[in-house]
A and B are shown apart, each in its own frame.
Chain A
Amino acid sequence: MTFAALAWAAGSPGEGVPQPEGWIGTAEQWAQGLGIALALLNLGVLVLAWRRLRHGEDSRPLHALLFIGLLVLPVVVIFFGYSQGMSGMETVRACGGCHAMTGHVADLRDPDSESLAAVHFKNRYIRSDQCYTCHSDYGLFGTLSAKMDGLRHVVHHVAGTYTTPIKIAHPYSNVRCLTCHAGSQKFMKSDGHPAEIQPQLMSGQESCLTCHTPAHTPKEAKR
């Protein structure tokens, strides 16, 4: 309960929509709460050790406190930090945290926008982490390369080495669209995807974005 309360106090996800799991919270919220609790416990252990040191103590309990506070608990806290940080960086809020992205996120959230991203967002075709879902390849290496891209973006943001409107670094892969759309009846039976063109879409010879455009309409691109 304490962990869930801590996570709740830290700010629960969602946009006012009641969560199906009710009061008990999600696994992510529990992990967040547990991480905070363990980090605070770790700080408490270090404070205790510091106090004992001040009294010139050199005993086994002090050694145990130092061992737990400097070796055991930090490893666990770092684990929770990674788990929380990695998933937290996949949210739309995290992507929109950089100035270069504000136009894209504003367009995404604009109910009047007809850009591909906005249509996916406003209709909840993707439930959460919409930027990350469409801008990461699937599979283990997809996640890894998305994280590396994110790191590169942070470097560009900090160094200011970017121009607006920002443009995608590599051609957008059809696989990202087809992972969800391929095989669906709407996709298979659409007049826009006749049987003769489907192999080209599958192989990436023809880009989905040739017809389904614009992907984003940020204000700075409209100028």
Chain B
Amino acid sequence: MRLVRLAIALAAVGLLLCVWLLVQVTWYNFVAFMVLAQPLLLAALVVFVIVAARDLKRRGVL
């Protein structure tokens, strides 16, 4: 569960950066979107996939 929470936290930070960009584009938030937001969202997804795969293995589905 701790890993899932970490995934949610990473995604939330990434999404806040996306909202900042969507509200008003400046080069600051565009660079933040390119360099931080996307890797954070990707990291959140990777963590989620790892947790889901572990869970499925535990249940004998994988």
Contact = CB atoms under 8 A, between A and B. Distances in A.
Interface of A: 10-11, 32, 35-36, 39-40, 42-43, 46, 49-50, 53, 56, 66, 69-71, 74, 77-78, 80-81, 84-85, 87-89, 91, 93-94, 97-98, 154, 157
A40 B25 CA distance: 17
Interface in B21-56: 21-28, 30-31, 33-34, 37-38, 41, 44-45, 48
Nearest to A82: B33
Interface in B5-28: 5, 7-8, 11-12, 14-16, 18-19, 21-28
A11 B25 CA distance: 10
Interface of B: 1, 4-5, 7-8, 11-12, 14-16, 18-19, 21-28, 30-31, 33-34, 37-38, 41, 44-45, 48
Nearest to A31: B22
Tell me if B's interface is mostly helix, strand, loop or mixed.
Answer: helix
A78 B18 contact: yes
Contacts of B45: 70-71, 74
Contacts of A66: 4, 7-8, 48
A16 B7 CA distance: 43
A19 B22 CA distance: 21
B55 to A, nearest CB: 9
A78 B22 CA distance: 10
Contact of A89 (B11, B19, B30): B30
Contacts of A11: 23-24
10 contacts: A39-B22, A40-B19, A42-B15, A43-B15, A46-B8, A70-B44, A85-B21, A89-B25, A94-B26, A94-B27
A70 B25 contact: no
Most A Cβ at <10 Å: residue of B5, B16, B24, B27: B27
A38 to B, nearest CB: 9
A30 B21 CA distance: 15
A77 B24 contact: no
